[in-house]
C-alpha cells in the first residue's frame, strides 16, 4: 500500500532513508521571511527525474510554517510576503498584465473548500480595468485580475475543465493561478504547509482528484498552482504508525508488512482524515493565502 501525497517534498523525502541521489531532481532549502519558516524547492529538470518522482517536470516550492495556526500577526504577515515572493520567483521575477484565479474544490465540504474561500477574499480588478482602462492599473499599481470558483461536477453537471477552457478562451488571461486543497503524508503538515508549482495540476491531484490536467498544454496559457494540504489518507497514517513500530521492533517487520498489504488496504480505501478544528483552520489559512496573492496583485 503506497502512501498518498500531493507534496513533491514528501515524495522526495521518501528516498531519504536510502540516501538516493535522484537523477534529474535537485533539492534546495532556504530560510523564509521569518525564523521558523522553511522554504524548500524541488526542481525536476528532466524525464528521469519526472519518472522517479511520478510528477511532471518543473519547480515545486514548499513553504512550511509550523506556527501559522497560532494566529500571530507577525507570522501571518511573513507568510503572506513569502507567498508573494515565491509566486514572483516562479514567474522569473516578471509580472503579467492579466491573471485568472481558479478556486478549485467543493465549498460544501470543509476540507475541500480552500479554493472557493480564497476566491471570496481576492482583490478582483478586471471590471475596473474595463471601466477605467489600463490607466487604472498604472495609477494604483494593480494587475488585471479575474476569479471564479467553478464548483464540482456533482453541483454543475459540467467538467471543471470545460468551464475553465471557455473562460480562458473569452478572457484571454496571460496567466492562470489554480488554488486547490491537497493531501499530505505527514499529519504535522496539515494546514501549515503551502506548495506552489509551475506545472499546473495533474490528474488525480488534490482532494477532488481532478480527472483532467490543468496546465499550459491543456488550456494554452501558463498555469501556476497553489495548494495547502488539509487531509491525510487514512491508510497513510496507519502505514506511518506501523513503520515506526517496525523500526522499534524489527522482529515484527514481516508481520507489519503483511498487515498493511492484506488486511488494511481495502478497509481504508478512499478514506481521508482531517483535523477536528478544520472549520477554523481552513478559514484562517484561506484568508492568509488570499492576502498573500493580493500582495502580489498590488505590488508594483
Predicted pLDDT of residue 153: 79
- Across the range 234-260, mean pLDDT stands at 77
Check pLDDT > 80 for residue 89: yes
State the distance between the two ends of the chain, measured CA to CA, in whole angstroms.
Answer: 48
- Report the distance separating Cα 296 and Cα 44, nearest Å: 25
Judge contact between 258 and 86, C-beta under 8 A: no
Place 1 in a pLDDT band, splitting at 50, 70 and 90: very low
Predicted pLDDT of residue 250: 79
Judge contact between 287 and 114, C-beta under 8 A: no
Residue with cell 524489527: 250
The pLDDT tens digits of the residues spanning 113-139 come to: 999 999 999 999 999 999 998 888 888
Percent of the chain at pLDDT > 90 equals 61
Judge contact between 53 and 44, C-beta under 8 A: yes
DSSP readout, 230-295? EEEEHHHHHHHHHHHHHHH-GGGHHHHHHIIIIIITTTTTT-EE--TTHHHHHHHHHHHHHHHHHH
Check pLDDT > 80 for residue 252: no
The pLDDT tens digits of the residues spanning 265-275 come to: 566 667 789 99
What's the helix, strand, coil split of the chain in %, to 5?
45, 20, 35
Check pLDDT > 80 for residue 9: yes
Place 181 in a pLDDT band, splitting at 50, 70 and 90: very high
Predicted pLDDT of residue 136: 86
Place 298 in a pLDDT band, splitting at 50, 70 and 90: confident
Query: In whole numbers, what is the pLDDT of the chain averaged over residues?
Result: 88
Strand partners, 225: 178, 197
Look up the pTM and report it.
Answer: 0.89
Amino acid at each position: 500500500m503506497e502512501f498518498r501525497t500531493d507534496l513533491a517534498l514528501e515524495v522526495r523525502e521518501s528516498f531519504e532513508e536510502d540516501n538516493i541521489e535522484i537523477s534529474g531532481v535537485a533539492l534546495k532549502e532556504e530560510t523564509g521571511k521569518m525564523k521558523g519558516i522553511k522554504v524548500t524547492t524541488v526542481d525536476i529538470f528532466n524525464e528521469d527525474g519526472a519518472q522517479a518522482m511520478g510528477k511532471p517536470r518543473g519547480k515545486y516550492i514548499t513553504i512550511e510554517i509550523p506556527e501559522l495556526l497560532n494566529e500571530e500577526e507577525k507570522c501571518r504577515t511573513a507568510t503572506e510576503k513569502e507567498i508573494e515572493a515565491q509566486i514572483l520567483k516562479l514567474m522569473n521575477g516578471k509580472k503579467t498584465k492579466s491573471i485568472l484565479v481558479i478556486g478549485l474544490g467543493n465549498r460544501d465540504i470543509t476540507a475541500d473548500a480552500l479554493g472557493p474561500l480564497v476566491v471570496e477574499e481576492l482583490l478582483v480588478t478586471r471590471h475596473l480595468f474595463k471601466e477605467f482602462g489600463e490607466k487604472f492599473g498604472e495609477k494604483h499599481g494593480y494587475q488585471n485580475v479575474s476569479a471564479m470558483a467553478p464548483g464540482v461536477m456533482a453541483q454543475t453537471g459540467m467538467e471543471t475543465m470545460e468551464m475553465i477552457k471557455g473562460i480562458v478562451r473569452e478572457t484571454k488571461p496571460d496567466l492562470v493561478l489554480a488554488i486547490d486543497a491537497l493531501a499530505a503524508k505527514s499529519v504535522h503538515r496539515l494546514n501549515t504547509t503551502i506548495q506552489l508549482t509551475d506545472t499546473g495540476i495533474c490528474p488525480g491531484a488534490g482532494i477532488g482528484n481532478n480527472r483532467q490536467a490543468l496546465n499550459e498544454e491543456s488550456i494554452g496559457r501558463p498555469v501556476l498552482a497553489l495548494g495547502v494540504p488539509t487531509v491525510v489518507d487514512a491508510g497513510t497514517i496507519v502505514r506511518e504508525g506501523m513503520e515506526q513500530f517496525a523500526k522499534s521492533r524489527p522482529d515484527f517487520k514481516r508481520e507489519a508488512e503483511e498487515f498493511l498489504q492484506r488486511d488494511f488496504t481495502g478497509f481504508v480505501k478512499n478514506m481521508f482524515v482531517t483535523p477536528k478544528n478544520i472549520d477554523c483552520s481552513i478559514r484562517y489559512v484561506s484568508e492568509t493565502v488570499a492576502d498573500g496573492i493580493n500582495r502580489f496583485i498590488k505590488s508594483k
